[in-house]
Chains A and B, each alone.
Chain A
């Protein structure tokens, strides 16, 4: 039975001195997939700005806007109403040999290469010793929480996998980057998924304060989503927004501004199950 979730994602910036112009791109629009249907989405910017939309290379809906009147604050409120289902999984029985195929390695090259953020790390286990790639995923999904402690503040948005790995601490972004690094090293194509996680009781109408979240999709015959941060299956409580090679490709908000000085950022995400 599908869930209907409402998400409000607000971001506000406070600048110490006046900003004369800023240019931004938001990737906050949930995407339509066979398992997820976006009923409505709206992005508001204050000070008022016209918003231009386009679909990027990875298929993510991007909202671009600029603010050209001098301002000391910037608020972005993204509101979505989404219907989610438990993802229907395809056949996941690829063998290690299947993953060695030239065609696959060529077509999924972007999800097999290291990046600035998904850089090599050395786990104390060898994924390839698992019987099948699917077993490897199950193993990894469990192992990550034994290796890394969830500790907000231990890393920042620019931290590569190796940093969190050394500290053995991080947030969902680090769990995701580290998992991607280990998977790609083992030859399993894997991509970064960003979105929202509903972590309430499931009671209809109850508003829950959440956060933007990230998890992994690995290719083991088909794409298989899993959530190494909490080890739970990806289900109706996950809302998918963007996919990419790493955080850089999906960052919810990126932009540049001129004239201002250091800032304070506040981000709140609230989710409500409507049905």
Chain B
């Protein structure tokens, strides 16, 4: 087995990198008892704000580690360019697959790979979004390998979730550890809801100036309901369930106390399979019968597009670099993780022989379920997997094991230890520009040595600081005392007064200042 050492985001041979010198000296000043106290403050704050994630039916806060991850300017620019390039190519791919299918004639991707994808929806064929966008929101998962190279681990083009935690993590950090922010100019993540709304408005059919946008949720029992409510609230649009909408004459209406209101754009957070019982699961009560044909006649825009899953199918993943060359005539800026295509017999043989050194993933899986990590699996498990993949090569991919980079993290006993991390930046496509949120969800495996980093696997997250180019750049200084824009949602816990903050006084002073300013302007 190849020996390898994961890179650390902060430290080289135990010494802080230049980028984090100031932060590291702040961090090391904090005693473990203080960390424990701060962790408590954080938990109370999260509970008070109702920032939760449902894991195995239990609603709980998504823990944010109190040590941020820092992305320097040059690296961010590289990532941003790479993500834009990738989304651009994948948009063209989807347009082609659900349209002319030129890529099959040009033998870029085997047709059989696409037509056997469970996410290739023939009912999406011929749907041409008004502004051409299908990937309104994407989350491209990025990891850093042992050589320090950032690679795309997977694409999420259906309903990537987690962006609400990105915004909330920043607020939580500013609340609990404001001292860490001192030496850094950090780019703001707060404009995400505005950007998303602008992209949804731009997606509206007929170029309406004030289209009716809604967020469609499966309901309060969904694990990401907090995020659905958060986004609806921050965009100032209605959060609806399938039964609030109905289709008539190929148009979508919302039932309100005033009567029926035409809906122009649906930002849906339910899966394709549940969207329209005519075309998919006939017993689905979460969706709206008729909505697909409404989209087909461009009476409503559905974001993200129907059938996007064919583009983030893990079996397509090895072909994405080729798609970038084919559609854009460019070389991929961010490389993939090397991936073995098990449908090729030679490759399959190699993989079966070396399975104890590889990672095997189901193509349909998400959330880290069903992954087998060769070096950590028992002989029995490996035999089981070997049998599975040889009988069904289309449903699996294999990759070399990557030692995900680590980052210092506060662990339970209040000490700092290194934990593996990955990164999900979010991009919003409004049809004119692909905008990448400067920040993202850094997920951290809270179990020592765990290399599957996923919130569905009991992981946590980190606030991700993308540094501003220069002092004059737009930056967000933590507005510690600004009242949260989000009303607390969940209150199973009664919060006692948190910490030594003198919140009310400061806030009232701010308001007075504002009033004075207004007075001056009026005079």
Direct contact of A and B (CB under 8 A): yes
When distances are taken between beta carbons in the complex, the residues of chain A under 8 Å from B282 are: 256
When distances are taken between beta carbons in the complex, the residues of chain A under 8 Å from B112 are: 105-106, 109
Nearest CB on A from B286, distance (A): 14
Asked if residues A66 and B122 are in contact (CB atoms below 8 Å), the reply is no
Asked if residues A52 and B250 are in contact (CB atoms below 8 Å), the reply is yes
A56-83: CB near B (< 8 Å → 1, else 0) gives 1110000010101000000000000000
Give A17-34 interface residues, CB cut-off 8 Å to B.
21, 23, 25
Asked if residues A107 and B111 are in contact (CB atoms below 8 Å), the reply is yes
When distances are taken between beta carbons in the complex, the residues of chain B under 8 Å from A35 are: none
Least CB separation from B288: chain A residue: A23
Asked if residues A66 and B247 are in contact (CB atoms below 8 Å), the reply is yes
Which A residues are closer than 8 A to B by beta carbons? 21, 23, 25, 50, 52, 54-58, 64, 66, 68, 105-107, 109-110, 113, 249, 254-256
Asked if residues B293 and A106 are in contact (CB atoms below 8 Å), the reply is no
Asked if residues B125 and A57 are in contact (CB atoms below 8 Å), the reply is yes
Which B residues are closer than 8 A to A by beta carbons? 104, 110-112, 115-116, 122-123, 125-126, 246-250, 277-278, 282, 289-290, 293, 296-297
Nearest CB on A from B442, distance (A): 40
Nearest CB on A from B439, distance (A): 40
When distances are taken between beta carbons in the complex, the residues of chain B under 8 Å from A256 are: 277-278, 282, 289
CB-based closest 8 A-B pairs: A109-B112, A57-B122, A57-B125, A23-B289, A106-B112, A64-B293, A106-B110, A110-B115
From A23, A54, A106, contact of B126 by CB (8 A): A54
From B104, B126, B290, B297, contact of A57 by CB (8 A): B126
When distances are taken between beta carbons in the complex, the residues of chain A under 8 Å from B104 are: 107
Nearest CB on B from A100, distance (A): 14
Q: From known contacts A23-B278, A64-B293, A66-B290, infer whether A106 and B111 are also in contact, taking CB-CB under 8 Å.
A: yes
When distances are taken between beta carbons in the complex, the residues of chain B under 8 Å from A68 are: 248
When distances are taken between beta carbons in the complex, the residues of chain B under 8 Å from A57 are: 122-123, 125-126
Nearest CB on A from B458, distance (A): 37
Nearest CB on B from A254, distance (A): 8
Query: 21 A-B residue contacts at CB 8 Å?
Result: A21-B289, A23-B278, A23-B289, A54-B126, A54-B296, A56-B122, A56-B125, A56-B126, A57-B122, A57-B126, A58-B122, A66-B248, A68-B248, A106-B111, A109-B112, A109-B115, A109-B116, A113-B116, A254-B278, A255-B278, A256-B278
Least CB separation from A112: chain B residue: B112
Docked complex Cα distance between A25 and B276 (Å): 13
When distances are taken between beta carbons in the complex, the residues of chain A under 8 Å from B122 are: 56-58, 249
